[in-house]
Amino acid sequence: MRSQRERSVLWYEQPAGSWFEALPAGNGRLGAMVFGGTCRERIALNEDTLWSGEPRDTVREDAHLHLDPARKLIFEGRHAEAEEIIQQYMQGPDIESYLPLGDLELQSDKEGEITDYRRELILDEAVVRTQYRTDGALQTRELFVSAADQVLALRIESEQPLNLTISLGSPLQYAVRRTGSSGMALSGRCPVRVLPNTVRSDEPARYEEGRGIAFEAALHVTAEKGRIESSGGRIRVVSGRGVTLLLAAATSYDGFDRDPAAASLAGRPRALCAERLREAAGLGYSRLKERHLREHAEKYGRVDLELGGSAADSGADADALPTDARIRAAAQGADDPGLAALFFQYGRYLLLSSSRPGTQPANLQGIWNDKLQPPWCSSWTANINVQMNYWPAEAANLAECHEPLLRFVDDLRESGRRAASVHYRCRGWTAHHNIDLWRTATPVGGSPSWAFWPMAGAWLCEHLWEHYAFSRDEKYLARVYPVLKEAAQFGLDWLVEGPDGFLVTCPSTSPENHFLTADGSQGCVTYASTMDIALLRNLFGRCMEASRQLQKDTAFRVLLEQTLRRMPPYRIGRHGQLQEWAEDFGEAEPGHRHTAHLAALHPLEEITPEGEPELAEACRKALKRRLAHGGAHTGWSCAWMISLWARLCEPETAHRFLDELLAGLHPNLTNAHRHPKVKMDIFQIDGSLAGTAGILEMLLQSHRGTVRLLPALPEELAGGAGPGAAGPWRIRDRHGMEGRQAHPCSADLPGGPAVPSVSGGACRDYSG
């Protein structure tokens, strides 16, 4: 049986030629993409609060005046007219963009013959290592980003003297200055406005003096058996055998509602960088690495998964192949269960590297972005994508990584209250499809099919509940209950009586999709989309359960119960499918990438095969219809398919989509998002993290008070070995305790070599 270390390494035989081949490192706040070049090394840098813009009020004071006219048109079936009103009078400005910090570059004077090259990311250490020989002399570079000490550390060792030129640069406006005899710092200020990547412009970024986020990246260099020279904004190491670089970065961001250009914040980036570098330099590289390894191992090491690693089609051990070769082989149909296990742990690594307590949540690209106009602003896209990022957080035993999103939801409640009140004259709080650093809660410009969707609050609240479901921490529940209640209050006020007497949402969209009306025209705005109803049913149910657990708000709980009885049921359409809209419309794009109406099946618990078999069958038919017309053609959509089919207990179909996801990955094992309307390769982290969650769904499900072990395990993944000799495998609770007494949903299952080895997973606690 291969060791954990052998199963936790991405490795390559050549430097990265593009962003999609570079290897990511991060501590939740500071990110790096390591290219592993020989004569020239590029390390692309990010900081999670480096965004364009500043606090601003995006509400439209007159939006509420157009709500009732739009509803009237919708109920009359005049969808196009309603959409025109909504887009013209009820939507607002675009959000801001997440920006790259810049590049740390190392240039070597010597260009000799390169042999024995290996570049690797060691997941259980969170270390990126590049090693090769130049004219026979060994050189090793080792990089990590420390969460314990908040610095990036790079160590270079060589058997022959090194002559290096080190520089810092940025695509933003910046200046570089010398800091002492062995350091330099890059400082600048972010644009006050960056146009979305969908807008073509010769000047996509607008800077204004004295406005926007200020930033700094500071570097400290030490060299053994050599000297350091500094001039012209660069550092030169001459004849060094061992070189250590420490880098810190910070911005003037101090909250979504504070002006980052305020005089009181002017010195913040420089002071933070200086403090972090001083403390890190005092520890030294060996101590920094020791502290980093210990901190990372405590979290990453909680879960182990082995699914087997033999590539049956090639007759070779797949672990002996470089990672990019394994992906190419998977694309050609090779059977490589070990790649699925590596991908699973890589997803946990990516979440741990991009979302830590006190940081911003993982955005569309985690924390790794090199573009001034990143795809879709690299925002928090709340109609599916940011939720997918956190599907594995609890079950994959990384509950701490959930904290940034939970705190984000609490922040969003503040701006969301004004959006609810001014836009819609509703109580509580709401949010829409696109959210940026400034917690923009209003609908942005663009087609209402995606821009007008006031259900983000209801969906994000499910994450607050999930954290409680796994922890059973009633103090936490009491703290977040007001957030849940206010989101439910918005839902209550947003519902209106529809044509058939039910309480419905209106206007309503099914994210990014269009339907066909009776005359054959396309529409996107109607009433009571299935996703809306599922989200509100789920939210109301969570609030009712919280009310019971906390023994409070009885009257509110009764109101929710009464409202649920007046909401429309789930409906089955002409094809036997779960309807996507209240009316059984035809689909403008039957193979659409979104399956929003199936959120009731996953990730929610509104429909289960055991509880609602007829509706579960309708979900199955809806999925088959999507796929028959070319659905699941994007990475994140394919990842969602794994979980949907796992919920339906169809292991072979779930495995088919896992195979498709693995076959379409970028060489660095990240999710490749290929949008049909965007002619470019894109990295989105949602497919990576949702793919990890999908593997978990195949192995363990816990919902509606029932724990299911191996509910969708395909034969192809049943070849893992148990710990040590063949024997039982165990699912342990998030604290590593076994048995029913320790955790009511823990379980042992006889198995041995016919089932995978899983240890350290987590499931909901149903002790109540």
Q: How far is CA 547 from the centre of its chain?
A: 30
What confidence tier does 720 reach under pLDDT thresholds 50, 70, 90? Answer: low
What confidence tier does 760 reach under pLDDT thresholds 50, 70, 90? Answer: low
β-strand partners of 724: none
Task: Return d(Cα 310, Cα 308) in angstroms, integer.
Answer: 6
What confidence tier does 223 reach under pLDDT thresholds 50, 70, 90? Answer: very high
Lowest-confidence range among 1-5, 329-333, 713-717?
1-5
pLDDT for position 752:
31
β-strand partners of 305: 758
Task: Return d(Cα 626, Cα 620) in angstroms, integer.
Answer: 10
pLDDT for position 719:
66
With a cut of 90, say whether residue 371 has pLDDT above it: yes
Contact of 192 with 93, CB cutoff 8 Å: no
| Pairing relationship of beta strands 434-435 and 380-381 according to DSSP bridges | antiparallel
Task: Return d(Cα 218, Cα 390) in angstroms, integer.
Answer: 32
Structure tokens at 128: 């990126």
Can you tell me whether residue 351 is helix, strand or coil?
helix
Contact of 177 with 187, CB cutoff 8 Å: yes
Determine the length of the chain.
768
pLDDT, tens only, 95-117: 999 999 999 999 998 788 999 99
In the chain, pLDDT over 90 holds for what percent of residues?
Answer: 83
pLDDT, tens only, 385-429: 999 999 999 999 999 999 999 999 999 999 999 999 999 999 999
pLDDT for position 373:
96
Say how many C-beta atoms besides its own lie within 10 A of residue 1's C-beta.
15
Task: Return d(Cα 282, Cα 288) in angstroms, integer.
Answer: 9
Annotation: CATH topology of 9-50+95-195+202-301? Beta-galactosidase; Chain A, domain 5 (2.70.98)
- Provide φ and ψ at 723, rounded to 5°: -60, 130
Angle between helices 554-565 and 530-550 (to 10 degrees): 150
Give 32 or 318, the one with higher predicted confidence. 32
Residue type, 754: A
pLDDT for position 121:
98
Say how many C-beta atoms besides its own lie within 10 A of residue 628's C-beta.
10
The Cα angle at residue 567 between residues 562 and 573, in degrees rounded to 5:
155
Q: How far is CA 579 from the centre of its chain?
A: 28
pLDDT, tens only, 501-523: 999 999 999 999 999 998 889 99
- Distance, first Cα to last Cα, the chain: 40
Task: Return d(Cα 86, Cα 320) in angstroms, integer.
Answer: 57
Can you tell me whether residue 133 is helix, strand or coil?
strand
β-strand partners of 270: none
What confidence tier does 723 reach under pLDDT thresholds 50, 70, 90? Answer: very low
3-state helix, strand, coil in the chain (%, to 5): 35, 25, 40
The Cα angle at residue 269 between residues 264 and 272, in degrees rounded to 5:
105
Structure tokens at 289: 């690495």
pLDDT for position 240:
83
Contact of 643 with 693, CB cutoff 8 Å: yes
What confidence tier does 739 reach under pLDDT thresholds 50, 70, 90? Answer: very low
Helix (H) or strand (E) holding 239: strand 234-251
**Mean pLDDT of all residues belonging to the chain:** 91
pLDDT, tens only, 657-669: 999 999 999 999 9
Burial 405-430 (b: 16+ CB within 10 A, else e): bbebbebbbebbbbbbbbbbebbbbb
Contact of 36 with 461, CB cutoff 8 Å: no
User: What residues have CB less than 8 Å from 200, skipping those under 6 apart?
Assistant: none
Task: Return d(Cα 534, Cα 168) in angstroms, integer.
Answer: 50
Sheet containing 586-587, strands listed edge to edge, beginning at the edge strand earlier in sequence: 522-523, 515-516, 586-587
HEC profile of 271-322: HHHHHHHHHHHHHCHHHHHHHHHHHHHHHHCCCEEECCCEECCCCEEHHHCC
Structure tokens at 24: 């990511």
pLDDT, tens only, 147-192: 999 999 999 999 999 999 999 999 999 999 999 889 999 999 999 9
- Rounded to two decimals, the pTM is 0.94
What confidence tier does 679 reach under pLDDT thresholds 50, 70, 90? Answer: low
Task: Return d(Cα 109, Cα 750) in angstroms, integer.
Answer: 60
- Residue 498, classified by CB atoms within 10 Å of its CB into exposed (0-12), middle (13-18) or buried (19+), is buried
Say how many C-beta atoms besides its own lie within 10 A of residue 520's C-beta.
8
The dihedral over CA atoms of 48, 49, 50, 54, expressed in degrees to the nearest 10, equals: 150
Contact of 649 with 710, CB cutoff 8 Å: no
β-strand partners of 33: 24, 44
With a cut of 60, say whether residue 616 has pLDDT above it: yes
With a cut of 60, say whether residue 733 has pLDDT above it: no
Comparing CA positions, the residue from 697, 696, 758 lying closest to residue 729 is 758
Say how many C-beta atoms besides its own lie within 10 A of residue 655's C-beta.
24
Contact of 717 with 655, CB cutoff 8 Å: yes
Comparing CA positions, the residue from 398, 405, 415 lying closest to residue 362 is 405
pLDDT for position 335:
87
pLDDT for position 749:
34
Helix (H) or strand (E) holding 176: strand 174-178
β-strand partners of 39: none
